Amino acid sequence: MYLSKMRKYIVTLLLLCFYGVSVAGQIKTGPVINVTVDFESARIITGLLAGKKVTDEQLTNAAQAFGSKQLIAKVKGYSGAGEDKFKSTLREIIETGTIKGDDNYNWKLVKANLPQIRLLINKLAADQKSFIADVTRMIETYTPDSINANVRACFLVGGGSLGFVLNDGSIFNVALQKIGNDYEGLRYLVAHELYHSIQDAGRTLRKVSAQKGTPYNAKASWAIAYNVWSEGTATLVGDITRITKPEPFTKVQMEEVNKNLARKRQNFVLIETMLFKAYADTATHVYNELYNIGFTTGYDEAGYYVGYEMAKKLQQFNGAGAIADLIINDPLVMFEEYIKLYKAHPQDNTFIRFDATTEGIIASLAQWKGKI
């Protein structure tokens, strides 16, 4: 049901995920996840793209929609193209049917797939309660009972990222222009992004006492470990390899997964090299460059699949609860638990082991747990 005329495409879904479990005569409740679904930006932009004329006021309204502000911040961050470019290129494609210069907002793809996108938005809007409930069930097993998360899910069109989270971890964004009619693939993508919001909710439960004067090399090394944990566990939660009848969108994603799975050892070496550079080289500050190597599509998101492999092993031996426990612990704990696990199974050749130098770096970083 729509809440108001002005925000008729924003619907609040209170999905209270309680479990009735008897513990010493008491009722134990599970995590609480409240999700607000926002289609406003996608609705406005696809409506404008269906026409051939647009006014300044309409463009301003499109740019001021909450989801559009998220999109503009994301695109500006990697391309420099801000609100002015958002408006000018959107006007150009509406009025001329194409864009002659840089298409930073990917409007040509949105325009080309407009019928499918509008059908997908309508299907999501009609079925949103069950869709979000399905996604929530996917992540419940990997979520600690103490989580109480209020999340805003923005479904967008435009830009180059399939899914992203900006500074506020309680808001995640998913772009629809590449999805086609792959409803199942979208469900797994949303699970991945929603889990990032759950991770953010867990961060607020950690006991962190940030210290002034933390050296750059410790912060940079910790941040690499953080991203391996964050992206690796989210990739496990939204594991598209579980899809048995993949549609075209999922097939493309599976190609990337298979490429990384075929070079697992090399990916581990890459992350180990990054950790060594970040920790041992105290003369240079190159974390941003290291991040781009390990965690962006330019290098096939290799770091995601190192974390994914570690998380799979932890789940295999210790259950999904081990992944849930990581939510409220320092990210270094995942590395410590993984190292402990493969040392407990020295004959198991399916483990990819870190070298002694990497193990030493993780041990040295332990002094910063709960302090970064």
Q: What is the pLDDT of residue 119?
A: 97
CA distance 2 to 238: 29
How many CA atoms lie within 13 Å of 293's alpha carbon, on the beta-carbon side?
A: 17
Helix axis angle, 302-318 to 287-295, nearest 10°: 70
Residue 87 to residues 74, 324, 372: CA-CA distances in angstroms? Answer: 15, 42, 39
How many CA atoms lie within 13 Å of 182's alpha carbon, on the beta-carbon side?
A: 23
Structure tokens at 222: 């910790």
Q: What is the pLDDT of residue 207?
A: 86
CA distance 53 to 309: 50
Domain ranges of the chain: 10-203, 216-368
Q: What is the CA radius of gyration of the chain?
A: 22
Coil/strand/helix, residue 37: strand
DSSP-assigned states of every residue in 350-372: TS-PPPHHHHHHHHHHGGGTTT-
Beta strand ranges found along the chain (DSSP E): 10-15, 21-23, 26-28, 32-38, 148-156, 163-164, 171-175
The DSSP call for residue 299 is G
Coil/strand/helix, residue 119: helix
Give the contacts of 300 (CB within 8 A, at least 6 positions apart): 256, 259, 260
**185: buried, middle or exposed (CB in 10 Å: 19+, 13-18, 0-12)?**
buried
pTM over 0.75: yes
Which residues, in sequence order, are bridge partners of residue 173? Answer: 154, 164
Q: How far is C-alpha 219 from the chain's CA centre?
A: 21
Which residues, in sequence order, are bridge partners of residue 13? Answer: 35
CA distance 220 to 276: 10
Which residues, in sequence order, are bridge partners of residue 21? Answer: 28
What is the enclosing helix (H) or strand (E) of 41? helix 40-49
Structure tokens at 281: 């080289």
Q: Strands 26-28 and 21-23, how do they pair?
A: antiparallel
Residues of the chain predicted below pLDDT 70: 1-28
Give the contacts of 353 (CB within 8 A, at least 6 positions apart): 342
Closest CA to 40 of 54, 59, 56, 61: 61
Q: What is the pLDDT of residue 211?
A: 82
